[in-house]
């Protein structure tokens, strides 16, 4: 066990993978000097410029080169700096990486990890603060992962680099400095969620940075006598249906919370699945359908804060209690 930041955990995961597998390479803008969040610090000095490759400022070229490398037998980690910039390389990801195995009858595979830092980045406005996980979950052929703490950013990144399919890896832009203990012997399984807290009254499901807000909300609810289960989904596709369904069957209530815009967010998929397979009452809480503002007061309008989560959970529990009394 070692105490390190979310960024350091990612760099350690890549270092270990590169030592174990000579086919792992990294490419992207500014990674030779460590990346804009320090998530590649020291790697070029260890492995050289042929394996930690600085690229021109062209997301389409970076992603396209990564897809070609993967098809040629390498295991590339493709750095997009932020998910918002990755939109310039979407054709290579969506029409080439995601479709290759299917279109060519399994003759090719694209074991590529596309790192796309996601979420609200303080004072960075509408073009640098988007949460687009539901876009990628909608696309057959892609795996979608959202680590929410340093341990997961080590373990899930190792799992992503072992995957034979393209992985969209969405680290949160606000978590790079988050500190936590990391055990490099722990390996995660993509598609396996984690239950952080157990309670009988309501199930909260979230992922990435929003898990922290949910955890604070769960503690506030407990002081009011409401005991909540909190599940960190960890990966969006595949997602842990079994764990979520089992919890909702026990509590009878589900609240899905995400930082992304609520309209057509991945919370709708979870809520619909739970409604189809259990008798639980379902609800979801996400951001309003507005661009993230630069000014703090506008940025806050796009956030789902602890108070909003507490109120939504409180209302669900109260509604069921009132119905039972009636």
Instruction: Give the C-alpha separation, 224 to 285, whole Å.
Output: 20
Gap between the Cα atoms of 77 and 1, Å rounded: 25
Per the annotation, the verdict on 128 as an active-site residue is yes
Q: Which of 16, 75, 128, 258 is catalytic?
A: 128
Contact criterion met (CB below 8 Å) for 165 and 113:
no
Identify the CA nearest to 28 among candidates 86, 73, 70: 86
DSSP 158-169: HHHHH-SS-EEE
Q: Which residues contact 272 (CB under 8 A, 6 or more apart)?
A: none
Q: Which two tokens stand for residue 153?
A: 């950013």
Question: What DSSP letter does each residue of 183-232 carry, written as one string?
Answer: -TT----TT--EEEE--SSEEEEE-TTHHHHHHHHHHHHHHTT--EEEEE
> Do 230 and 196 form a contact (C-beta atoms < 8 A)?
yes
Residue 6 parent element (H or E): helix 6-20
Could you tell me which of 29, 32, 33, 34 has the C-alpha nearest to residue 7? 34
On whether the CB atoms of residues 262 and 284 are closer than 8 A, the answer is yes
CA atoms within 13 A on the CB side of 240: 21
Among 165, 6, 143, 136, residue whose Cα is nearest residue 75: 165
Active site residues: 128
């Amino acid at each position: 066990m070692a105490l390190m930041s979310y960024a350091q955990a990612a760099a350690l995961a890549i270092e270990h993978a590169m030592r174990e597998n000579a086919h792992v390479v990294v490419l992207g803008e500014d990674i030779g000097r460590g990346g804009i969040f320090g998530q590649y610090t020291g790697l070029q000095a260890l492995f050289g410029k042929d394996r930690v490759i600085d690229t021109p400022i062209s997301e389409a070229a970076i992603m396209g080169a990564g897809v070609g490398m993967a098809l040629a037998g390498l295991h590339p980690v493709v750095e997009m700096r932020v998910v918002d910039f990755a939109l310039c390389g979407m054709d290579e990801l969506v029409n080439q990486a995601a479709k290759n195995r299917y279109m060519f009858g399994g003759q090719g595979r694209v074991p590529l990890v596309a790192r796309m830092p996601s979420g609200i980045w303080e004072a960075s406005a509408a073009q640098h603060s988007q949460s687009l996980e539901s876009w990628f979950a909608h696309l057959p052929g892609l795996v979608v992962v959202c680590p929410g703490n340093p341990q997961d950013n080590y373990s899930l990144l190792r799992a992503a680099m072992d995957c034979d399919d393209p992985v969209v890896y969405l680290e949160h832009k606000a978590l790079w400095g988050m500190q936590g203990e990391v055990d490099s012997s722990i390996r995660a399984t993509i598609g396996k969620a984690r239950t952080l807290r157990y309670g009988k009254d309501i199930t909260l499901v979230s992922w990435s940075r929003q898990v922290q807000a949910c955890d604070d909300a769960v503690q506030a609810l407990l002081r009011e006598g409401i005991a909540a289960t909190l599940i960190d989904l960890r990966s969006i596709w595949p997602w842990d249906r079994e764990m979520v369904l089992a919890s909702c069957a026990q509590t009878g209530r589900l609240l899905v919370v995400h930082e992304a815009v609520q309209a057509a967010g991945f919370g709708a998929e979870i809520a619909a699945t739970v409604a189809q397979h259990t008798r639980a009452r379902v609800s979801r809480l996400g951001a309003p359908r507005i661009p993230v503002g630069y000014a703090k007061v506008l940025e806050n309008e796009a956030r789902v804060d602890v108070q909003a989560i507490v109120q939504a959970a409180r209302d669900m529990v109260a509604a069921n209690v009132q119905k039972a009394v009636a």
